[in-house]
Chains A and B, each alone.
Chain A
Amino acid sequence: MANVSIRKVVKAYEGDVQAVKGIDLEIIDHEFVVLVGPSGCGKSTTLRMIAGLEEITAGEIWIGGDVVNDVPPRDRDIAMVFQNYALYPHMSVFDNMAFGLKLRKFPKEEIKRRVDEAATMLDIQMLLDRKPKALSGGQRQRVAMGRAVVRNPKVFLFDEPLSNLDAKLRVQMRTEIKKLHQLVPTTTVYVTHDQIEAMTLADRVVVMNHGVIEQVGAPQELYHHPATRFVAGFIGSPAMNFLPCQVIDDGGLKVQLADGTKMAIPAARVDRYGPYKGKKMTLGIRPEHMTETHDSEKPGVQIMNAKVDVVEPMGMETLVHHFVDGVAVCSRIDPNVHTGPGKILPLAIDMNNMHLIEDATNRVV
């Protein structure tokens, strides 16, 4: 087990296309870090550079106190789980798990002990004699994890390991990966495009976009205190609502939407937002903070009438889609509130949880 340090790392391809643009990241021993972002953001490239499967154009990668820029993958003491499992099709589950140990000339008894131990941990003891083609997707993914675990490496690398599984199995395997990390707390770098996976698994989430790190933080920190508009919109499902606005002083600091609607900024935020008076800004508000009017008396809550466009009952909640000044907006309401398309629904906007984004920099202020 080891720290991983990424220092000013750049990955450029031919034609000067930069997939990763000088990122810095410190991952401490035992930590579970998830790199998340949309396709093409550089998260998989970063992981592959840590693995040694991609050369580094500039910068340094350290694993356990050593620079590994020129160290081949086999000498980095890492293990990787791939999206498509990458099991050797002609080998049994046992041989798949034992392959790395055999290459490293471990004694037979030690190989058997480690494989049995990992198989018990992952509940695949009964599958050891089977070939990968005789396994289900979930079982294959467990074997792939077993192959990583038996090596007892310094770092686990996961490259979108759940993307090939169906929705139900994905949730189940997510829990198992978390449980595995609790049992074997090896430093882990996990790549996914699914922000729910990132939020549920990570000690810290690294949000990447266009080859740069937008924000690094604990899941709750990212959710409640996003640093940029991108993070605010990427983390959370349904995504945060964004409404163009201007900060005005109209007998108190307020945000004024494009249609003239004015909403008072809570007293606790006046000092923070005061300097942005008169500037073009974007109001960010999460769907759960635009909800039915049961606590409209709460300080900082504004009432707004919405004409319902689409209703999506989810069981434990209902999503209501409507428009505010031509901008599509989503609200999360109590499933017992009855409404329908075309109806007017009074919504309480909790300005205590508002976010204000500066349009010029896209930073949350």
Chain B
Amino acid sequence: MSASATAGNLPRPKSKVGSMEQQRRMALWGSYIALTIFVIIFLVPPFYMIVTSLKTSAEISAQAGNPWIVKNPTFDNYWELMTNAAFQRYFINSVWVTAVTVTLSMTIAILAAFSLSRMGFKGSQVLSTGVFLTYLVPPSLLFIPLFQILGWLGLINSTWALVLLFPTLAVPFCTWIMIGYFSSIPKELDEAALIDGASYPQILVQIFIPVAMPGIIAATIFAFTVAWGAFLYPLAYLYSADQATLTVGIVRELIKGDVFAWGMIMAACAMAAAPPIIIYTFLMDYYIAGLTAGATKG
């Protein structure tokens, strides 16, 4: 009682609630402004790409009118590409290279991450750091030595070259994501499974893969992006049209000398961007959950 009476007689410190509210509002406004600028910078090019893809060549090259508006929208560019055998070939090549890259990378990454994070063998810590360090080597540094290696293997101008190379880019980072995710799974879970009678492969398949699904999806998206969006290696190692992937094919097919088929280039870009956009849209939550796993105590 005496303690509270004494406290009641003391001068009250000035309330800071108002200023905190003001600071919060200012921070919010700052965030909105920054994000708006960010969104404009990043969304204007795709918007312009779609607008241009819906225009005829005449409308694109017309001097008059607002270039941001389509007067007579048309899907001719899209239709022409879809019925173009070369474009179909590029698309199929990209799908095939990406599918094999993702499957191969994820198989290697999951097995590597499981053994590095759970088998506890000597040197596993050093090895997992080493795996990450290999990711830090820029691909542009490697493409001349890789050219020699692929030459020895007889894989120049073959999509198999990409199937071999892309996992070397995707596996380190995918393994790193998976190590992080597997490490966030309590050790007692595999111990319980061991006692329940599971072998290590059974623990991986029946416990770890289902529990780590957000991490696996995040790593899969990364591997997909590496293979689907790659430009340097396909440009360097594939020179015939029947082996080209979309990224290189668009440039080779739709730019002839100094003639740019802008409408079709933009339509091709829109079509090439569609699969990643669809995948990101549906799996974004898993992607974020996978990348941030273990960042905070669960």
Interface residues of A (CB under 8 A from B): 51-53, 72-74, 78-80, 82-84, 86-90, 99-100, 103-104, 147, 151
Cα A88 to Cα B195 in complex, Å, equals 13
Q: Which of B188, B202, B206 contacts A82 (CB 8 A)?
A: B188
Q: Is B258 an interface residue (CB 8 A)?
A: no
Whether the Cβ atoms of A84 and B188 lie closer than 8 Å is yes
Q: Mark B190-232, 1 if CB is under 8 A from A, else 0.
A: 0111111111001000110011000000000000000000000
Closest Cβ of chain B: how far from A89's Cβ, in Å? 6
Whether the Cβ atoms of A86 and B197 lie closer than 8 Å is no
From known contacts A88-B211, A90-B210, A90-B211, infer whether A80 and B195 are also in contact, taking CB-CB under 8 Å. yes
Whether the Cβ atoms of B198 and A86 lie closer than 8 Å is no
Cα A82 to Cα B195 in complex, Å, equals 11
Whether the Cβ atoms of B188 and A100 lie closer than 8 Å is no
Q: Which of B194, B202, B211 contacts A89 (CB 8 A)?
A: B211
Whether the Cβ atoms of B186 and A74 lie closer than 8 Å is no
Whether the Cβ atoms of B195 and A99 lie closer than 8 Å is no
Closest Cβ of chain A: how far from B186's Cβ, in Å? 6
Q: Which residues of chain B come closer than 8 Å to A88, judged between CB atoms?
A: 189, 192-193, 207, 211
Whether the Cβ atoms of A86 and B191 lie closer than 8 Å is yes
Whether the Cβ atoms of A103 and B202 lie closer than 8 Å is yes
Question: Could you write out 16 A-B pairs with CB less than 8 Å apart?
Answer: A53-B191, A73-B195, A82-B188, A82-B191, A82-B192, A83-B188, A84-B188, A86-B186, A86-B191, A88-B193, A99-B193, A99-B206, A103-B196, A103-B197, A104-B197, A147-B196
- What total of chain B residues lie within 8 Å of the partner, measured CB to CB? 17
Q: Which of A72, A79, A83, A86 contacts B189 (CB 8 A)?
A: A86
Residue on A nearest B213 in the bound complex, by CB: A90
Q: Which residues of chain A come closer than 8 Å to B199, judged between CB atoms?
A: 74
From known contacts A88-B207, A103-B202, infer whether A53 and B186 are also in contact, taking CB-CB under 8 Å. no
Name B's interface SS.
helix
Cα A82 to Cα B187 in complex, Å, equals 11
Whether the Cβ atoms of B192 and A74 lie closer than 8 Å is no
Residue on A nearest B207 in the bound complex, by CB: A88
159-199 of chain B: CB within 8 A of chain A: 186, 188-189, 191-199
Q: Which residues of chain B come closer than 8 Å to A89, judged between CB atoms?
A: 211
Q: Which residues of chain B come closer than 8 Å to A103, judged between CB atoms?
A: 196-198, 202
Closest Cβ of chain B: how far from A219's Cβ, in Å? 28
Whether the Cβ atoms of B210 and A74 lie closer than 8 Å is no
Whether the Cβ atoms of A84 and B197 lie closer than 8 Å is no
Cα A90 to Cα B186 in complex, Å, equals 14
Cα A74 to Cα B191 in complex, Å, equals 10
Q: Which residues of chain A come closer than 8 Å to B210, judged between CB atoms?
A: 90
Q: Which of A52, A86, A90, A104 contacts B192 (CB 8 A)?
A: A86
Cα A88 to Cα B206 in complex, Å, equals 10
Residue on A nearest B199 in the bound complex, by CB: A74
Cα A50 to Cα B233 in complex, Å, equals 55
Closest Cβ of chain A: how far from B42's Cβ, in Å? 36
Whether the Cβ atoms of A100 and B197 lie closer than 8 Å is yes
Closest Cβ of chain B: how far from A199's Cβ, in Å? 26
Cα A103 to Cα B196 in complex, Å, equals 8
Q: Which of A83, A84, A90, A99 contacts B196 (CB 8 A)?
A: A99
Cα A99 to Cα B188 in complex, Å, equals 15
Closest Cβ of chain B: how far from A153's Cβ, in Å? 9
Which of B194, B197, B202, B211 gathers most chain A CB within 10 Å?
A: B197
Whether the Cβ atoms of B194 and A86 lie closer than 8 Å is no
Whether the Cβ atoms of B198 and A80 lie closer than 8 Å is no
In the complex, the 7 A-B pairs of residues with the closest C-beta atoms, listed nearest first: A100-B196, A86-B188, A86-B192, A103-B197, A74-B197, A90-B210, A82-B188
Q: Which residues of chain A come closer than 8 Å to B197, judged between CB atoms?
A: 74, 100, 103-104
Whether the Cβ atoms of A74 and B188 lie closer than 8 Å is no
Name 16 extra pairs, CB < 8 A, besides A52-B195, A90-B211: A53-B191, A53-B194, A72-B194, A74-B195, A74-B198, A78-B195, A80-B192, A80-B195, A82-B192, A84-B186, A86-B191, A88-B207, A99-B196, A100-B197, A103-B197, A103-B202
Cα A286 to Cα B61 in complex, Å, equals 99
Cα A320 to Cα B206 in complex, Å, equals 57
Whether the Cβ atoms of A79 and B188 lie closer than 8 Å is no
Residue on B nearest A79 in the bound complex, by CB: B195
Closest Cβ of chain A: how far from B163's Cβ, in Å? 32
Q: Which residues of chain B come closer than 8 Å to A80, judged between CB atoms?
A: 191-192, 195
Residue on A nearest B202 in the bound complex, by CB: A103
Whether the Cβ atoms of B211 and A74 lie closer than 8 Å is no
Q: Which residues of chain B come closer than 8 Å to A104, judged between CB atoms?
A: 197
Q: Which residues of chain B come closer than 8 Å to A51, judged between CB atoms?
A: 191, 195
Q: Which residues of chain A come closer than 8 Å to B194, judged between CB atoms?
A: 52-53, 72-74
Residue on A nearest B185 in the bound complex, by CB: A89
Residue on A nearest B192 in the bound complex, by CB: A86
Q: Which residues of chain B come closer than 8 Å to A83, judged between CB atoms?
A: 188
Cα A75 to Cα B73 in complex, Å, equals 71
Residue on B nearest A85 in the bound complex, by CB: B188
